[in-house]
Structure 1
Amino acid sequence: MRRLAAISLSVLAAACVPSSVETADSGRMQKKAEVVQPIATPAPAPAPTPTPDPTPTGPSTFVYDGKLTQGGWIRGQVPAGTVSARLGEQELILDESGRFFAAFDRDAGPTTALVARRADGRELRSPLTVSPREWDIERVNIARRTGGASEAFMRIRRPELARIVAARAEETGASGWSQDFIWPATGRISGRFGSQRIYRGEPGSYHSGIDIAPGAGVPFVSPADGVVVLAADDEFSLEGKLIIVDHGQGLNSAFLHASRIVVEEGQRVKQGQLLGNIGSSGRATGPHLHWSLKWRDARLDPLLFTGPMS
């Protein structure tokens, strides 16, 4: 019994030994400490060095040339750092170099301004003086016809006008606006831009283009590079066979009364490329080419783009 008690006491003593491991060192009992490895914390990534904004290049103010007169035009470059620009209240289209085209209506007022807006919101203004012109005015002592067009005619005319408006609104990215224009045909000038009749004090519509009358069947060409946005081989009631060419930046040419059209809509044309042949289609008293130019809603004088006919 004593032996069994001793064995039981030994087992009980063993069960009470701590779970940590003990070792002898210089006659003393010491506990071996557990070694805990520290967790490495990654260093934060260095903040990127900010790239300075590039210094804008270009002129410090507007640079331009052109014909600053009624029915004329202006072409130039905006100041460095410009984000948008306008002529008066009309927004300008800027190319990748900051170049622009703008123009002045036949009845434009005497003053306007080019305005550039920069990224910080500041505006730079360049005042412009638009010189007046003396138009060929004929005063007649008869009353102007009243009543307007009939509804039957307008049912035909409205879809034609819608096609013209849509064509002139197209932005094709053409670059003909930057060229020196050439005459689409040469010959006798039978009608000048801006001429007008006054009926007993009431003004009638003015002539919106220039008429060139070299004879029936004479070919005519594009005065500058562009894209054909309308080629109406089906005759319009007034214009007859009509071609409109977009020269970019809101500038376009219209050619009326053709006898034949040799281009189609969407076609890119180069300066001097054949467009068609002169005729008397539509409402015309004889064979001639009516050439008109528009920038947005402004009517322009083609003679100010080409200079005198040689």
Structure 2
Amino acid sequence: MTIAFIEQNDPAPDNKEPCGLSRLSVALLGFETADEEKLKRVLQMERPDGRKYMAVSRGDKIQGDILLVNYDNPGAREEKDLILASYPQAQVVAVSRGPLQDAPARHIRGMLSAARVLAVLDQVSVPKPIEPALAGLPTADDDSLSRQVDPQDRSTAESGLSETPTSPSLSGHAGYRALVVDDSAAIQKSLELNLATLPQIGAVEFADSGEAALAKAETAQYDLIFLDVMMPGIDGYETCTQLRKKAQYKKTPIIMVSGKTSPLDEVKGVMAGCTTYLTKPVQAEAFQKLGARVLAWLERQARP
């Protein structure tokens, strides 16, 4: 879709910072690069009521409060559906050349101008988002570690995620066994060094492909698995799917390790059965927080 923007002067900002207003993120789905850049500039304009927007796109990790979707692009509509399956609180605004049979309540049709785009976005009411401290983190429950927090289980999740892991002696063995699956020796070494800082980890093994990981999983039982997304042969998504089909790995924490952390990539990971994501390059602080939560969950499962 090619957007013919009508340039307009936006009201001059009054340089007053509004109170109680947060910046809403707008995910841009299915637009050509040039059009996306124009939309980003539009979203940076000052609003008379103080409302602020921040554009995010495929390469960004931040999830959009509002999904601005090019409905003339079938791939964008599919991506929108995948995102909504994981983030149902996101609000959809459709953009198209002509009429739509299944248009959402908010639809920008035909020629776009900065004023039209902002006028529609200003009408969107966005529900209060999930707290950043909970979004995308493992949740302890009776059955598995899940990426999403069920509102009914939030109190349980919050207490579990803030819990400090207890002594490994409670688990009944010398330490947990971790499998690191990545075709990069540097990433393998980075994760090995990070895992060495966790006293509950008793052994770390490695595989450089999905096929090798599945073979190892047949002959050994691992308590947690770090799984690269992009690998030669079968990728991390397929490897995760195959692991989840094995009875002994139905509940095992599987952490996807990847530089690809767009909403669509995360949804694909969830559909494959991964527990959560760890972004490359691995940062020590992020690893420690994630490690503490996963180990706390493992300890609770080991208790009689």
Whether the TM-score (by the shorter chain) exceeds 0.5 is: no
- TM-score class normalised by the smaller sequence: under 0.3
Name the one with the larger strand percent. 1
Larger Cα Rg: Structure 1 or Structure 2? Answer: 1
Name the one with the larger helix percent. 2
